[in-house]
Amino acid sequence: MPRFRPDLDSIPTYHPGRPLSEVARELGLETITDLGSNEDPREPFPEVRAAITEAVSGVNRYPLTDSPYLADALAEHHGVDPDWVWVAPGSTGMLIATAIAASGPGSSVVFADPSFVVYRMAATIAGATPLAVPVDAEWRLDAAAMAAAVRDDTNLIYYCNPNNPTGTHTSFSAMEQLAKAVPPEVTIVFDEAYAEYVTAPDWSPAIPLTARHENVVVSRTFSKVYGLAGERVGYAIGNPGLLGALSRPQPPYAVSTLAQVAALAALGQQERVVERVAETVAGREWIARLLRDLGQFAIDSQTNFVLWRPSDSRTAADAVLRRGTLVRALGPWVRITVGTPEQNRRCLDAIEQGLAAGLF
């Protein structure tokens, strides 16, 4: 029997679930609407599909290692120099590479609880000790508590804002205070995967902090509003020296040719991005309002999902699935991704039917 690292079983695994076509067939349904993974429900922009089609003939060649054209466009979009941009295979790939580079055995990694599951996974993959800090009474990240949780062996902090799965946000001033409170040798990753959806007036991007603090990096993704979850492309903004160190564990040719051209084409569609955001914001407010009208508890969200707390999350998620919509049970909560108006209506009808039947 081959030998493995002794802590392999301690590394959390991500379970995306069975193929929906298989589940639909088992349940006797024609289709199942997927509102479980925080994806955008709409197809990529036509320009993106055209760019992918044109680039297909070149996939016999390795992709450009550093995604230079995409990095240049992102730099222009965010008003930074190109060497302040690191393009990665999804923000998840960036988060894991960061943990490997910045932490390791004998160190610790701080993150909120609940928050993005990859933080604990990344820390454990790197061999570091995960330090989970509970969110506050309003389900927001507690920046002061996270700063206080930093130990002498802490090398890394993940700060998801807005936060997944709560959907809540903290102000720019809270992020700034965290950056000031943490020792400069501790890397802080402000994960802004849902930044485009924020409407709260006290939130603003953490990117300006990267110019003031050499230990701060901001993570973004093309998997949400840009509709490119299947292409796996994300990026980070930070001091070139920091990015150079954090990106060392990333393998060469990590971001595919199709991912690079798709992201570049998507970035050029900002007017349509604004339209998509407006539709999503209207959808999340409608879902939250309908849940409350049904006597349910839902957290106000700044993302593309709504977190709902039924009496029994697993029973509720199963009942909704059997009526044709996949949602995600997370502990005592159910996370509902905002879909199209028709998909949202289908989901809420299923919830209403389940409540009327006394199932949860």
Asked if domains 10-43+271-356 and 46-267 share a fold, the reply is: no
Question: What pLDDT shows up at residue 142?
Answer: 98
Model confidence at 317: pLDDT above 80: yes
Task: Find the mean pLDDT for residues 100-112.
Answer: 97
Question: What pLDDT shows up at residue 61?
Answer: 97
Amino acid at 30: E
Place of tokens 């009808």: 349
DSSP H or E run through 158: strand 154-160
Question: What pLDDT shows up at residue 79?
Answer: 97
For the stretch 138-161, pLDDT in tens is 999 999 999 999 999 999 999 999
The CATH number fitting domain 10-43+271-356, selected from 3.30.70.1520, 3.90.1150.10, 1.10.238.10, 3.40.50.300: 3.90.1150.10
- Pick the residue with more confidence: 73 or 30? 73
What does pTM read for this prediction?
0.95
Q: How confident is the model at residue 294 (pLDDT cuts 50, 70, 90)?
A: very high
Cis peptide before 44 (omega within 30 of 0): no
- How far is residue 284's CA from residue 264's CA, in Å, rounded to a whole number? 28
For the stretch 233-261, pLDDT in tens is 999 999 999 999 999 999 999 999 999 99
**304 touches 273 (CB < 8 A):** no
The three-point CA angle 203-225-229 to 5° equals 125
Q: Which phi-psi region, left, alpha or beta, contains residue 90 (left: φ > 0; alpha: ψ -120 to 50)? A: left
For the stretch 110-140, pLDDT in tens is 999 999 999 999 999 999 999 999 999 999 9
Q: What is the percentage of the chain residues whose pLDDT exceeds 70?
A: 100
Q: How confident is the model at residue 35 (pLDDT cuts 50, 70, 90)?
A: very high
- How far is residue 112's CA from residue 158's CA, in Å, rounded to a whole number? 8
Place of tokens 């939250």: 288
Task: Find the mean pLDDT for residues 258-281.
Answer: 98
Domains of the chain, by residue range, sit at 10-43+271-356, 46-267
- Pick the residue with more confidence: 8 or 70? 70
Residue 176: how many other CB atoms lie within 10 Å: 17
Phi, psi of 183 (to 5 degrees): -60, 145
**Which stretches of 194-343 are assigned E, i.e. beta strand?**
216-221, 234-238, 297-298, 305-309, 325-326, 328-330, 333-337
Q: Which residues contact 278 (CB under 8 A, 6 or more apart)?
A: none
For the stretch 60-94, pLDDT in tens is 999 999 999 999 999 999 999 999 999 999 999 99
- How far is residue 107's CA from residue 150's CA, in Å, rounded to a whole number? 11
The CATH number fitting domain 46-267, selected from 3.40.50.300, 3.40.50.720, 1.20.1250.20, 3.40.640.10: 3.40.640.10
Model confidence at 7: pLDDT above 90: no
Q: How confident is the model at residue 355 (pLDDT cuts 50, 70, 90)?
A: very high
Q: Which residues contact 89 (CB under 8 A, 6 or more apart)?
A: 232, 233, 234, 250, 254, 255, 256, 259
Question: What pLDDT shows up at residue 254?
Answer: 97
Closest listed residue to residue 228, CA positions, set 278, 253, 264, 197: 264
Q: How confident is the model at residue 20 (pLDDT cuts 50, 70, 90)?
A: confident
